[in-house]
Amino acid sequence: MGDTRLCTITDSCTESQLGQGRGKGTPVKCYNDVSSENSIGLDVLLVGCHVKVRREGLGSMDQPLRYIFETTDWRGRPVRMTIKTYDLHKDRHAEMPEYIQDVQTLIGDPDEIYIADSGPSLHLYRFGLGRGIHANTYLTAIVYYPEEKGSGLVASYFCRSRLPRLKLLERRYVHLNGVRVAEAEYRRRIVAELAELSSLKDAGEGGA
C-alpha cells in the first residue's frame, strides 16, 4: 500500500464508482500507490484512486451503501457485502445464494487466513462447508480490509479445490478424518504421537 493523500472527487468519476451521497468536489483521503512508471493515464489513475477511496469510506459515508449481510469476522471486526456485489455475482455464479449463510460462518470462524499479494485483502478458507458438487472443497471468501482495525468488505466468495499460493497469516483449525480440530490441539497430538513412537523405538532397542 502506498502513501495516503488528499484527493477530490472529479467529473471523471461516475456515481457507481463513488458510492451514494458524495458530491463532486468532496475532499477525500485516498491511496496513491500507482507509480508513474505503471500509470495508465490520468483518467484511469484517478478512477482507480477513487475506487480505493470509496472502499475506504465504507461505514463513514452520509448515505452508506446497501448491504446483503453484515457479520463479524474471527477478530470481531464488522464485515459486509454490498447488494450490488452480491447481485452481480449471483447472476453469474449459481452457487452464491446457496452459501450466503455459510460464508458468514466462514468469516466468523475460518480454518486458514492468507494475505493477498495485492492490496489489503485477506483470503479466508474453510473446509467442509460445501455440498453437492462442492462437497470436499474449500469455501473461500476474499475480504478487503482498508484499515488494520477497520471494517471489511467482501469482494467475493466461492468454492475451490486448492489452498492458495499466498502467504499464510494464520492457521486456526485442521480437519482430521472429517473432524475439525484446533491447530494447537493438532500440534499437541503430533508431539504426543512422536513421543510415543520414540518410546516404542527405545523399548525395542532396549529389548534387543
Partner 1 sequence: MNDLHRSKPLPVDMEEVARVNVDLGTRIEQEGVEFAYDSDGDTLFATIGEKPRYALTEEIMGNIYVRIDPGTLKIVGATVFDFMADFLAHNRLAQKAFAGFFDLLRQEGTIMVEGTDARVRVAPIFEAILKLS
Q: Burial of 166 by CB count in 10 Å (0-12 exposed, 13-18 middle, 19+ buried)?
A: middle
**What is the spatial distance between Cα 123 and Cα 111, in angstroms, rounded to a whole number?**
11
Q: Which is nearer to partner 1, 41 or 204 (CB)?
A: 41
Name beta bridge partners: 126: 139
Binding residues among 62-81 for partner 1 as defined by CB under 8 A: 65
Pairing of strands 67-72, 138-144: unpaired
State the residue for C-alpha cell 507509480. 35
- Contact flags string 18-57 toward partner 1, x per CB under 8 A: ----------------x---x-x---xx-xx--xx-xx--
Q: Which is nearer to partner 1, 8 or 17 (CB)?
A: 17
**What is the spatial distance between Cα 37 and Cα 40, in angstroms, rounded to a whole number?**
9
Question: Could you tell me if 8 and 27 are in contact, meaning their C-beta atoms sit under 8 angstroms apart?
Answer: yes
Q: How crowded is residue 39: how many other Cβ atoms within 10 Å of its Cβ? A: 11
Binding residues among 88-127 for partner 1 as defined by CB under 8 A: 88-96, 116-119, 121, 127
Q: Which is nearer to partner 1, 115 or 208 (CB)?
A: 115
Binding test (CB under 8 A) with partner 1, winner from 168, 169, 176, 184: 176
What is the torsional sign of CA 8, 14, 16, 22? positive
Q: Which is nearer to partner 1, 60 or 161 (CB)?
A: 161
State the residue for C-alpha cell 474471527. 74
Q: Which is nearer to partner 1, 7 or 154 (CB)?
A: 154
- Closest approach, Cβ 94 to partner 1, in A, equals 4
Distances (CA, A) of 158 to 12, 106, 122, 125: 33, 11, 14, 10
- Closest approach, Cβ 97 to partner 1, in A, equals 9
Binding test (CB under 8 A) with partner 1, winner from 6, 76, 177, 208: 177
- Closest approach, Cβ 172 to partner 1, in A, equals 14
Residues that bind partner 1 (CB under 8 A): 14, 16-17, 34, 38, 40, 44-45, 47-48, 51-52, 54-55, 65, 82, 84-85, 88-96, 116-119, 121, 127-128, 132-134, 136-138, 140, 142, 144, 153-156, 158-162, 164-165, 174-178, 186, 189-190, 193
